[in-house]
Chain A
Amino acid sequence: MLCEFRWSDDLAINWFKYSAPTTFYGLAGKLIPWFAFSAAILFSIGLYIGFFVAPMDAQQGEFYRIIFIHVPASILSMFLYMIMAGYAALGLIFNTRLSAMMASAIAPTGALFAVISLWTGALWGKPMWGAWWLWDARMTSELILLFLYLGFIALHASIDDPRRADRAAALLAIVGSVNVPIIYFSVQWWNTLHQGSTIKFSGTTMHVAMQQALFIMLVACWFYAFAVALTRVRSIILERERNTTWITELPEVKQ
C-alpha cells in the first residue's frame, strides 16, 4: 500500500501550483509554441480535406463548405464563454488572481469567434435561405452572446481598479452564462429556420471526409484559442504584477 501511495504521489501533478501567476506564467510560455504550431498544421490539413477531399453536398452544392469554419467558430464561441464564466466564478468565490486574469484573456477571443460565427452564418444564409439575416432563435441568441462578450470587455475596461473590475465583470459573465444553453437548445425549443445539430450522439449521416475536416478544424480552432488566450494572459500577468520582484527578474524583462 505504501508503494502505491508513493507511486501515485510521484505521478501526482500539483494543480494548485499552477493557480499562482508566478508559476503559470512559465507554464503558459512553454505551451504557447506547441498550441500555435499544432493549430497551424491542423488548419492546413483541415482546409485541404475540406476543400479538396470532401465531396460536394447533394443539396447545398459547394456552399456547404462554410460548415468547416462556421460550426467550429460557433462551438468555440459557446464553450469559451462557459470557460470564461467558470474562471470568473472561481475568481469571485476563491478570490484567486489568476482566474480573473484568465477570464479577461479569454473574452476577446470568444467575442471574435462569435463574430466569425455570425459572419459566416450570414454568408451561408444568403444562398440557402435568400437572406443575410433573420431574427431566428439560434441567430438572435448567438448575437446576444456577442453582446455579452462585448459587455464583459467594456465593463472590465470601464473600472480603474482591476480587482473591482474583475468582480463586476464576473457577475455579468455568470448571469450571461444562462444564454449558452439557450443557444444550444434553441433549434429544439423553437421552430427555427436554422438546422439542428449535424453530428449527434446517435450518429451522423455526413460523409467521412466531411467529418474529418470538421473535427480537424474544430481541434485547430481550440489550439488557436489556447495559444492566443495564453499569450494574452501572460501580458495581463506582466501588467498586473509589474511591481513584484519576480517580474523584474524575468529574462525577457532583464534584456
Chain B
Amino acid sequence: MISLDIWMRENPLTYVWFGSYAVALLIFATEIAMVRHRRKSTLQQIRLMRDAEADSKDGNTA
C-alpha cells in the first residue's frame, strides 16, 4: 500500500486518468454494448415470433 501511495503521488495524472476516466469510459462502453445487444435480441425474437405465426397460419390453410 505504501508503494501505491508513492506511485500515485509521482504519477497523479496517470492515476486520475486510468483510475477514474478509463473506468468510467469502460462502464459507458459496456452499457452501450448491453443496450445495443438487447435491442438486437428483442428484434430477433419478434421476427422469430412473426415467422412462427406465419408458418402456423400456412400450415392451417394447407
Contacts A242-B45, A253-B46, A253-B50; A228 near B20 (Cβ below 8 A): no
- A 183-227 binary contact with B (CB < 8 Å = 1; else 0): 000000000000000000000000000000000000000001000
Alpha-carbon distance A116/B19, docked complex (angstroms): 11
Structural contact, A235 and B42, CB atoms closer than 8 A = yes
Contact A253 B47 (CB under 8 A): yes
In the bound complex, do residue A127 and residue B8 qualify as a contact, i.e. CB atoms below 8 Å apart?
Answer: yes
Residues in chain A near residue B38, CB distance under 8 A: 232, 235
With both chains docked as a complex, state the minimum distance between the C-beta of A48 and any C-beta of chain B, in angstroms: 12
- Complex CA gap A206/B24 in Å reads 24
- The contact of A119 among B12, B20, B35, by CB within 8 Å, is B20
Q: Tell whether B52 is near chain A: CB-to-CB under 8 Å.
A: no
CB nearest to A243 among chain B residues: B49
Residues of chain A with a CB closer than 8 A to B28's CB: 224
* Interface residue SS majority, chain B: helix
- Determine the main DSSP class of A at the interface with B: helix
What B residues does A255 contact at CB under 8 A?
47
Query: Of A123, A231, A239, which is within 8 A of B35 by CB?
Result: A231
The 29 listed contacts between A and B (C-beta, < 8 Å) are A62-B12, A62-B16, A63-B12, A63-B15, A66-B16, A69-B20, A108-B31, A109-B31, A116-B24, A119-B24, A120-B23, A123-B15, A123-B19, A127-B9, A127-B12, A224-B28, A228-B32, A228-B35, A231-B35, A231-B36, A231-B39, A235-B38, A235-B39, A235-B42, A238-B39, A242-B46, A248-B50, A253-B46, A253-B47
Beyond A51-B13, A120-B20, A123-B15, 17 additional pairs, beta carbon < 8 A: A61-B12, A62-B16, A65-B16, A69-B20, A69-B21, A108-B31, A112-B27, A119-B23, A120-B23, A123-B16, A228-B32, A231-B35, A231-B36, A235-B35, A235-B38, A235-B39, A235-B42
Q: Which residues on B are within 8 Å of A, measured CB to CB?
A: 5, 8-9, 12-13, 15-17, 19-21, 23-24, 27-28, 31-32, 35-36, 38-39, 42-43, 45-47, 49-50
